[in-house]
Structure 1
Amino acid sequence: MKLIRIFFTAACLLSQHLYAQEGYKMQPIAIQSRWAKEVSPTNALKEYPRPQMVRSSWTNLNGLWDYAITAKDASTPSAFQGQLLVPYPIESALSGVKKMLLPTQNLWYKRTVNVSSKAAERTLLHFGAVDWQATVFVNGKEVGSHTGGYTEFSFDITDALKAGDNELMVKVYDPSDQGIGPHGKQVLNPQNIYYTPTSGIWQTVWMETVPAASITGLTINPDVDKSVVNITVNSATSSPVELTVEGKTIKGMANKIISVPVKNLKLWSPASPYLYDFTAKLGKDVVKSYFGMRKISVAKDSKGVERIMLNNQPYYNLGTLDQGFWPDGLYTAPTDEALAFDIKAIKAMGFNTIRKHIKVEPARWYYHADKLGMLVWQDMVNPNQGLPEGSKQAFEKQGAEMLQQLHNSPSITTWVLFNEKWGQYDQERLTSWIKQMDPTRIVNGHSGENLYVNDQLRSPSPNAYVNADMTDVHSYPQPMNAIKLEGKAQVCGEFGGIGVFIPDHQWSTDAAWGYVQEKPADLKLKYAGMNKKLEELQKEGMSGSIYTQPFDVETEQNGLMTYDREIVKIPFTELRKIHAALNPVMGTIPEVTATDADLTDPAILYKNAQDEFAAGKTDIGFVKKLIMMASQNGDQAGKVKFTEEYFKALKTPLPEDDMRTVARISQSTKDQGFKFMQDNADAFKKVLGDRMYTILMMNMIFKGDMEPMMKAKASWDEIGNAVMKYGAPGEEMYLRAKTVTFYNEQKWTEFVPAATTYLEKFGAGISEQEKLAFQGAINEHK
Structure 2
Amino acid sequence: MKHIKTLLFVFLLTLSTTIKAQEAPFSDLLQNIDSREKTSLNGLWDMIVDPLENGYYNHRLQPKEDGYFMNAQMQSPSDLIEYNFDTSKQLMVPGDWNTQMDKLYYYEGTVWSKKDFTYTAKNDEAAFLYFEAVNYEAIVYLNGERIGRHVGGYTPFQFEVTDKLKEGNNFVVVKVDNKRKRENVPTVNQDWWNYGGITRSVHLITVPKSHINDYSVQLPKGVTNAIKGWVSVANGKDGDAVSIAIPELKKTVNTVLKNGKAEFSIKAKPKLWSPTSPKTYEVVLKTATDEITDQIGFRTIATEGSKILLNGKQIFLKGISIHEEAPFKTGRVVSVEECKILLEWAKELGCNFIRLAHYPHSEAMVREAEKMGFLIWSEIPVYWTIQFDNEDTYANAKNQLTEMISRDKNRAAVVLWSMANETPEGESRLNFIGNLAEQARKLDDTRLITAALDTQAQGDDGNLIEDPLGEVVDVIGINAYCGWYAGATDTCAQLKWASAYNKPMIMSEVGGGALYGHHGEKNERWTEEYQAEVFKTNIEMMRNIDFLSGLSPWILMDFRSSRRPLRRIQDDFNRKGLISEQGMKKQAFFILQEYYEKENN
Q: Which of 123, 134, 148 is equivalent to 1:119?
A: 123
Partner in structure 1 of residue 376 of structure 2: 376
1: CA distance, partners of 2:477 / 2:35: 41
How far apart are 1:571 and its partner, in Å?
8.8
1:231 alignment counterpart: 229
Q: In the aligned structure 2, how far is the partner of 1:208 from the partner of 1:96? A: 33
Q: For residue 88 of structure 1, what is the amino acid of its counterpart? A: G
Task: State the Cα deviation string for residues 375-409 of structure 1 (Å, max 9, x = none).
Answer: 11112211672518532322222222222222121
Calculate the TM-score normalised by the size of structure 1.
0.60
In structure 2, the residue matched to 1:401 is: 403
Q: Is the 8 A contact 1:196 1:330 kept in 2?
A: no
Matched, 1:209 2:194: no
The 8 Å contact of residues 490 and 544 in structure 1, kept in 2 or not, is answered as yes
Q: Could you tell me which of 249, 254, 257 is aligned with 1:251?
A: 254
Q: Matched residues in 2 for 1:339 and 1:462: separation?
A: 35
Counterpart AA for 2:197: G
2:434 is aligned to 428
Determine if the alignment matches structure 1 residue 67 to structure 2 residue 65. no
After the TM superposition, which residues 120-269 of structure 1 pair with which residues of structure 2 at under 5 Å, given as runs? 120-176=124-180, 178-183=181-186, 194-223=191-220, 225-236=223-234, 237-238=236-237, 239-247=240-248, 248=250, 249-254=252-257, 255-263=261-269, 265-269=270-274
Note the C-alpha offset of 1:57.
2.0
Amino acid at match of 1:250: V
Following superposition, the deviation at residue 50 of structure 1 comes to 8.9
- Indicate whether 1:108 and 2:125 are aligned: no
| Cα distance in structure 1, aligned partners of 2:590 and 2:256 | 51
3-state SS of the aligned residue for 2:139? strand
Instruction: Read off the aligned partner of 1:214 and give its amino acid letter.
Output: H
In the alignment, the residues of structure 2 paired with residue 162 and residue 50 of structure 1 have an alpha-carbon distance, to the nearest angstrom, of 22
Question: Could you tell me which residue of structure 1 aligns to residue 579 of structure 2?
Answer: 561
In structure 2, the partner of 1:349 is: 349
- 1:408-456 deviations in Å (ceiling 9; x for gaps): 2111111221221169351333333322332111111x31242337989
| Contact 1:181/1:384 (8 A) holds in 2 | no
Match among 18, 35, 38 for residue 58 of structure 1: 38
Task: Give the whole-Å Cα distance in 1 for the aligned partners of 2:42 and 2:171.
Answer: 15
**Residues 1:291 and 1:358: Cα distance change in structure 2 (over 3 Å):** same
Cα 1:462–1:284 change in 2 (3 A) is: closer
Q: In structure 1, the residue corresponding to 2:332 is in which secondary structure? A: coil
Aligned-pair CA distance for 1:518 = 5.6
The structural deviation recorded for 1:516 is 7.9
Residues 377 and 453 (structure 1), Cα distance of their counterparts in 2 relative to 1, 3 Å cut:
farther
Change (3 A) 1:362 1:299: same
Following TM superposition, by how much is the alpha carbon of 1:354 offset from its aligned partner in structure 2, in angstroms?
1.2
C-alpha deviation, 1:96, in angstroms: 8.4
Task: Indicate how the Cα distance of structure 1 residues 295 and 68 shifts in structure 2: closer, same or farther if over 3 A, else same.
Answer: same
**Residues 299 and 310 of structure 2 are in contact (CA less than 8 Å); yes or no, is this contact kept in structure 1?**
yes
For residues 595-624 of structure 1, give each alpha carbon's deviation from its aligned partner in whole angstroms, at most 9, with x where no partner exists: xxxxxxxxxxxxxxxxxxxxxxxxxxxxxx
Q: Distance in 1 between matches of 2:456 and 2:161?
A: 49
Query: Which position in structure 2 is the counterpart of 1:705?
Result: none
Q: Deviations over 1:621-654 (max 9, x none)?
A: xxxxxxxxxxxxxxxxxxxxxxxxxxxxxxxxxx
Q: C-alpha deviations, 1:161-196, integer Å up to 9, x for none?
A: 1111111111122212x3522137x86xxxxx7233
Which structure shows the bigger proportion of residues in helix conformation?
1
Structure 2 residue 579 is the aligned partner of structure 1 residue 579: no
Q: CA deviation at 1:328?
A: 7.1
* Rounded Cα–Cα distance in structure 1 between residues aligned with 2:539 and 2:500: 24
1:606-617 map, 5 Å: none
- Cα distance in 1 for residues equivalent to 2:408 and 2:103: 31
1:38 is aligned to none
State the Cα RMSD in Å.
Answer: 3.3
Give the secondary-structure state (helix, strand or coil) at the position aligned to 1:451.
coil
Whole-angstrom distance in 2 between the partners of 1:414 and 1:339: 20
Change (3 A) 1:487 1:195: closer
The alignment status of 1:500 with 2:497, answered yes or no, reads no
Distance 1:453 1:219 in 2: 44
Q: 1:164 to 1:87 in 2, by over 3 A?
A: same
Q: Deviations over 1:4-51 (max 9, x none)?
A: xxxxxxxxxxxxxxxxxxxxxxxxxxxxxxxxxxxxxxxxxxxxx999
Q: CA distance change for structure 1 residues 123 and 557 in 2, over 3 Å: closer, same or farther?
A: same
Distance 1:515 1:276, change over 3 A: farther
SS in structure 2 of the partner of residue 547 of structure 1: coil
Please state how far the C-alpha of 1:533 moved relative to its aligned partner: 3.3
- Matches of 1:124 and 1:455 in 2, distance apart? 60
- Which amino acid is the alignment partner of residue 580 of structure 1? E
Where do residues 638-649 of structure 1 align in structure 2 (5 Å cutoff)? none
The separation in 1 between residues aligned to 2:501 and 2:362, in whole angstroms, is 37
Q: CA deviation at 1:346?
A: 0.7
> Given the superposition, is the C-alpha separation of residues 403 and 370 from structure 1 closer, same or farther in structure 2, using an over 3 Å criterion?
same
Deviation at 1:260, TM superposition (A): 2.6
Cα distance between partner residues in 2 of 1:488 and 1:571: 29
Tell whether the 8 Å contact from 1:325 to 1:331 is kept in structure 2 after alignment.
Answer: yes
* Pairwise CA distance, 1:113: 0.6
State which structure, 1 or 2, has the greater radius of gyration over its C-alpha atoms: 1
Letter in 1 for 2:231: V
The answer as to whether partners of 1:198 and 1:330 remain within 8 angstroms in 2 is: no
C-alpha contact (below 8 Å) 1:51/1:367 kept by paired residues: no
Measure the CA separation in 2 of the matches of 1:231 and 1:436: 14
Percent identical residues: 22
Alpha carbons 2:141, 2:148 under 8 Å: kept: yes
User: Judging changes above 3 Å, is the alpha-carbon distance between structure 1 residues 129 and 309 closer, same or farther for their aligned structure 2 residues?
Assistant: same
What is the CA deviation profile of residues 702-759 of structure 1, one whole-angstrom value per residue up to 9, with x for unaligned ones? xxxxxxxxxxxxxxxxxxxxxxxxxxxxxxxxxxxxxxxxxxxxxxxxxxxxxxxxxx
TM-superposed deviation, 1:72: 2.4
- With 314-323 and 426-435 compared, the bigger mean Cα shift is at 426-435
User: Residue deviations 1:80-109, cap 9 Å, x none?
Assistant: 33111111011123x787444434xx3211
Residue pair 1:416, 1:443 contacting (<8 A) in 2 also: yes
State the Cα distance separating 1:529 from its structure 2 match.
4.2
CA, structure 1 residues 380+515, in 2 after alignment: closer, same or farther (shift >3 Å)? farther
Counterparts of 2:331 and 2:398, CA distance in 1: 22
Given the superposition, is the C-alpha separation of residues 466 and 168 from structure 1 closer, same or farther in structure 2, using an over 3 Å criterion?
same
Deviations 1:119-151 (A, max 9, x none): 111111100011122121111122222222121
Q: Which has the higher contact order (CA 8 A, sep 6+)?
A: 2
Deviation, 1:515, is 12
- Higher relative strand content: 2
Alignment partner, residue 539 of structure 2: 531
Superposed counterparts of 1:728-743, under 5 Å: none
- The answer on 1:491 being equivalent to 2:491 is no
Deviation at 1:253, TM superposition (A): 2.6
Q: Give me the whole-angstrom Cα distance separating, in 2, the residues matched to 1:516 and 1:402.
A: 41
Q: SS state of the match for residue 166, structure 1? A: strand
Deviation by residue 1:644-692 (Cα, 9 ceiling, x = unmatched)? xxxxxxxxxxxxxxxxxxxxxxxxxxxxxxxxxxxxxxxxxxxxxxxxx
Amino acid at match of 1:271: T
